Every structure is written in structure tokens, then in C-alpha cells.
A = this chain, B = another copy of it.
């Protein structure tokens, strides 16, 4: 009765589909990209695609969740190494830029809001976000306690630190602003100034 739930080839096939989907979505946007486009580029059949993901939105959703998970892991790895609050905050900005420059297609897709999440997808998204925030907050908590970071309403740290560089990078990704290389320090300064505590001379 008990039987293997997935086959070795399955994961590979799923990855192929997601990779093809990223290319297609990036080229034209989620809505204009057709199932045929994806299916052909992935070298699989319609049935296979639907078997694994259920729907086109299912593909879009799975892709987004996979990418945000990858991105969060990257940022947390970077944050874990920080020795001071200032290191950590500047690391967020620098990490955001580095990942975006290294994977512009992926970041462009993460910025895209044109994904209609299913209830389950939405739940998973919220779960991932919550876990990420919790881990970030755990890392930052001690800096708040020792006064390196200001004590602010919880939901304001992320916008204050990442908001500016996020906005800038989005414009760069759509071709409306020059590369973020060169503005790292400026945005890191802004982030640090926004959340630094009283212990540093103001």
C-alpha cells in the first residue's frame, strides 16, 4: 500500500518546467505566456504539466515560492554572519543588490505582482514570509536590546531598511534607472540611519 511518492525523474521534470516558465514569463509576462510556450520550451506534454502543477497559475505560484525561498535563504545566510547591527543592516542592502545583479530575471519575477495565488499558495506565501520575518527579527532582537538598533513598530523595519533599494532596483529591472552598482553605500547609509539606535552618535 505504501509506495514511493515521487520518482527520481519527477523532480528534474518539475525543475525543467519551472525553468522554462521563468523564461516565458520573463519574456512576455505571465498572462501573455501560453501553456504551449512553456510546454514546448520544457519539452513536455500538456498533460505532464497539468499533472505536476494543476494549472498555469499553479506553475506561476510554484515558481514564485521557489524563488522567494531561495532569496530568503541567501539573505539569512548573509545576515547570520553579521557581527554588529550596522553590519547586518548594510548587509541586507548589499545582499539585495548582489542577488539582483546576479539574477535579474529571477528578481524581476519576484517583483512581478501578476500572480493570482490560490488559497493554499497564499497560505504558503504567508508562512514563508512569517518565518523569514521571525528569523530576521530574532537576529535583530539582541541589537535592539543593546541599543544598537532603535525600538520601532515591528512592521516598519523591513520597509525602512529595504524599501529604498527595493524601489531603486525595481526601476533598474524595468530599464528606468541605471545599474545599482555605485549606489550601494548611499542606500546602505540611508538604511542604517533609518534604524540605528541612540547608542551611536546622532
Chain A residues engaging chain B, CB cutoff 8 angstroms: 28-32, 111-116, 126, 129, 152-153, 155-156, 158-160, 162-168, 171, 176-178, 182-183, 186-187, 189-190, 193-194
Is A159 a contact of B153 with CB atoms below 8 Å? no
Could you tell me the dominant secondary structure of chain A's interface residues?
helix
Given contacts A28-B116, A32-B116, A193-B190, contact A159 B155 (CB under 8 A): no
Is A167 a contact of B171 with CB atoms below 8 Å? no
Determine the chain B residues whose CB is within 8 A of the CB of A166 once the complex forms.
159, 163, 167
The 8 Å CB contact of A114, one of B31, B163, B193, is B31
Determine the chain B residues whose CB is within 8 A of the CB of A28 once the complex forms.
116
Bound CA–CA A156/B112 (angstroms): 21
Determine the chain B residues whose CB is within 8 A of the CB of A116 once the complex forms.
28-29, 31-32
State the oligomeric state as a number of copies: 2
Given contacts A114-B114, A193-B190, contact A183 B156 (CB under 8 A): yes
A-B CB proximity, top 9 nearest: A114-B114, A163-B164, A113-B113, A163-B167, A159-B167, A163-B163, A190-B194, A159-B168, A155-B177
Determine the chain B residues whose CB is within 8 A of the CB of A162 once the complex forms.
167
The 8 Å CB contact of A155, one of B111, B112, B158, B171, is B171
Bound CA–CA A30/B111 (angstroms): 17
